[in-house]
Amino acid sequence: MINFIKNGDGHPVILVHGIGASIHAWDDIEPELVRLGYQVISMDLPGHGLSFKPQNFNEYNVEYFYAIFEEWIIELGLCEPIIFIGHSIGSYFILRYVLKHTPEEIKALILIDPLISLEQFTPMMKFFYHQKIFSPWVLNCISVFPQTLFYSALSLTNTYFFIFHGKKFVFPKSILKIMSYDYKRANPAIFLLPFSVTSIGSQLHNINVPTLILGGSHDQNLRSEFFGNIASFIPNSILHVVEGNHNPQHSNPLEINKLLFDFIGGFTD
């Protein structure tokens, strides 16, 4: 049902990608974690990658996805507390899990451009979702788009960021190929997931594990100033805003990786 890969031995690290991605979202991070002696478990969320893809559009909601996510973690049968690393809506599922489980089960959190509320949406994203453009007809059309169309759209975004913000905001061509491939093989109903997100900001003060929040300075999907709010909600958290877009782990991997590995190294043996 859930496709995942497990590499390495040692303390468990679970990686959870965002909308439209897959286990390949962590290609720049996973090998180094394994080299440092961690057991790295990365998964494809439902509707993504090689995981099962519900055909009923109504099943593309965060409650259904979270139930599957939680069940999958429990079935892993991990004996040590977990280090979670999540991106965007992947961070949302992680935070939901942490809020429901005891602190003894979680070692630390690393949240990259985390989503906790639709209030974070940029004006562009609010326009798309308020207009409800993702109708069944539109989703069916997206399902037949060729990979080259996704690649072209991502390339245009790349060009925009390069012109107005510089190289640290640009995806390498290898990443564009992976991202366009992941969008093509995902069920387009994944774009419905944000409609069902309910704010968890008021609950975050209950989280008391070391937390690193990494935010792209020019996130085109989520307003960057909200990352500071999230850090203020979580008592034991550190915030770093780095030059980058909504996927700084791809556009600025050197800085993201350094902050990530320095953080992990600070509290693990």
- Asked whether 71 and 97 are in contact (CB, 8 A), the reply is no
Element (H, E) at 75: helix 62-76
CA–CA gap between residue 164 and residue 57 (Å, rounded): 37
What is the 8-class DSSP label of residue 195?
G
Per-residue model confidence as pLDDT tens for the chain (269 residues)? 899 999 999 999 999 999 999 999 999 899 999 999 999 999 999 999 999 999 999 999 999 999 999 999 999 999 999 999 999 999 999 999 999 999 899 999 999 999 999 999 999 898 877 767 888 899 999 999 999 999 999 999 999 898 888 877 889 999 999 999 999 999 999 999 999 999 999 999 999 999 999 999 999 999 999 999 999 999 999 999 999 999 999 999 999 999 999 999 886 65
CA–CA gap between residue 207 and residue 188 (Å, rounded): 33
CA–CA gap between residue 174 and residue 140 (Å, rounded): 28
Among 236, 219, 265, smallest CA distance to 36 is for 265
pLDDT at 129: 79
Among 49, 42, 87, 93, smallest CA distance to 221 is for 87
CA–CA gap between residue 30 and residue 171 (Å, rounded): 18
pLDDT at 267: 67
Using only C-alpha atoms, what is the Rg of the chain? 17
Angle formed at CA 29 by CA 24 and CA 256, multiple of 5 degrees: 115
pTM: 0.96
CA–CA gap between residue 232 and residue 230 (Å, rounded): 5
Scan for tokens 């780095």, then name that residue. 242
- Asked whether 242 and 165 are in contact (CB, 8 A), the reply is no
- Asked whether 14 and 97 are in contact (CB, 8 A), the reply is no
The full set of domains in the chain, from first to last, is: 4-265 (3.40.50.1820)
For residue 208, the Cα-to-chain-centroid distance in whole angstroms is 21
pLDDT at 269: 55
- Asked whether 250 and 171 are in contact (CB, 8 A), the reply is yes
Counting beta carbons within 10 angstroms of the beta carbon of residue 198, is it exposed (0 to 12), middle (13 to 18) or buried (19 or more)?
exposed
CA–CA gap between residue 118 and residue 157 (Å, rounded): 22
For residue 35, the Cα-to-chain-centroid distance in whole angstroms is 22
CA–CA gap between residue 195 and residue 205 (Å, rounded): 24
pLDDT at 131: 66
